[in-house]
């Protein structure tokens, strides 16, 4: 039989089989909330899905040591939430946990967090500072989408996974490092990062997904690794200030409109290896190109 939640102050809770407490729901209307460390002698270890969802007055929350899990959508649409203190005991934060917390300015992750789930901070318009733990291995799909105020973020060295549209429309993002363990830039990862001016891809990157850097209108310099094999459709579309790019000889596939709108296209130049797939692509698509050794005369759009 399903256990009926009990009441403690402004919280409903469930006593779990292991003797710990899961907070089910916050039913108060305070601006500042401190979640109790214990309920009648039982340790609080989990905050259930949607426990604080749509609490429009909520401004600050303190989670006690001992809490290990925050469920999905726990603080979804808490639009006045400005400060959350996370305990070192925390190891899991669910999908969309802080989505649309438009006033949240910073977040410091505990060391036990190894993965940032899908849409965790999507729509956090004023998020400016994010401190990720060294043990982080991945960031999920759309995790920081629409974080308009995020200017810089440092990704841990051991991270290997960056999900689709992870930083989509982070329009203030100017600087980001990509860890060497990454092998793929997924679809739309940096789409709409208007202020991103330079990016160097790790040496093991083999695939750039569709629209990965689309609408990065300030992007001027891109360094592609020698082992890159695939560039997806519209990957660099509308990168208006990108004047040239070196396409490695290993590239065997370039999607439709991959460089459409780069330097208004007419002045955009690709640097290619002789007799490569990239050279043929440039010829077939009317793109201006030259060769890697740069000792040869630059080839025009007509291939002559």
What is the per-residue pLDDT across 70-116, written as a single tens digit (0 to 9) for each?
A: 999 999 999 999 999 999 999 999 999 999 999 999 999 999 999 99
Q: At 296, is the pLDDT very low, low, confident or very high (cuts 50, 70, 90)?
A: very low
Q: At 268, is the pLDDT very low, low, confident or very high (cuts 50, 70, 90)?
A: confident
Residue 4 confidence (pLDDT): 77
Strand 92-93 relative to strand 269-272, pairing: unpaired
Q: pLDDT exceeding 90 applies to what percent of the chain?
A: 88
> DSSP for 27-85?
----SEEE--SEETTEEEEEE-TTTTTT-TT--EEEPPTT--EE-TTTTTT-TT--EEE
Q: 268 vs 54, which has greater pLDDT?
A: 54
What is the per-residue pLDDT across 114-123, written as a single tens digit (0 to 9) for each?
A: 999 999 999 9
Residue 10 confidence (pLDDT): 96
Residue 295 confidence (pLDDT): 54
Residue 226 confidence (pLDDT): 95
């Amino acid at each position: 039989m399903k256990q009926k939640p009990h009441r403690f102050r402004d919280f409903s809770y469930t006593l779990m089989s292991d003797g710990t407490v899961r907070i089910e729901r916050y039913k108060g209307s305070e601006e500042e909330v401190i979640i109790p460390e214990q309920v009648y002698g039982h340790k609080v270890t989990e905050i259930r899905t949607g426990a604080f969802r749509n609490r429009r007055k909520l401004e600050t929350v303190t989670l006690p040591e001992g809490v290990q899990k925050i469920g999905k959508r726990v603080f979804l649409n808490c639009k006045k939430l400005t400060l959350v203190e996370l305990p070192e005991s925390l190891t899991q934060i669910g999908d969309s946990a802080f989505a649309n917390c438009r006033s949240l300015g910073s977040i410091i992750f505990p060391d036990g967090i190894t993965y940032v789930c899908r849409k965790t901070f999507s729509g956090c318009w004023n998020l400016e500072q994010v401190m990720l733990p060294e043990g982080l291995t991945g960031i999920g799909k759309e995790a920081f989408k629409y974080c308009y105020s995020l200017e810089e973020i440092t990704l841990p060295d051991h991270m290997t996974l960056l999900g689709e549209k992870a930083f989509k429309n982070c329009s203030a993002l100017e600087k980001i490092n990509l860890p060497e363990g990454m092998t793929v830039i997924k679809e739309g990862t940096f789409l709409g990062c208007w202020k991103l001016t330079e990016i160097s891809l790790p040496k093991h990157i083999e695939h750039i997904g569709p629209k990965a850097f689309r609408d990065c209108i300030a992007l001027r310099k891109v360094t592609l690794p020698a082992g890159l094999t695939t560039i997806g459709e519209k990957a660099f579309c509308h990168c208006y200030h990108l004047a040239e790019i070196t396409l490695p000889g290993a590239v065997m596939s370039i999607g439709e409109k991959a460089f459409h709108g780069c330097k208004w296209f007419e002045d955009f130049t690709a640097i290619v290896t002789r007799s490569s797939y990239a050279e043929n692509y440039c010829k077939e698509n009317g793109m201006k190109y030259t060769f890697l050794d740069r000792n040869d005369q630059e080839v025009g759009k007509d291939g002559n």
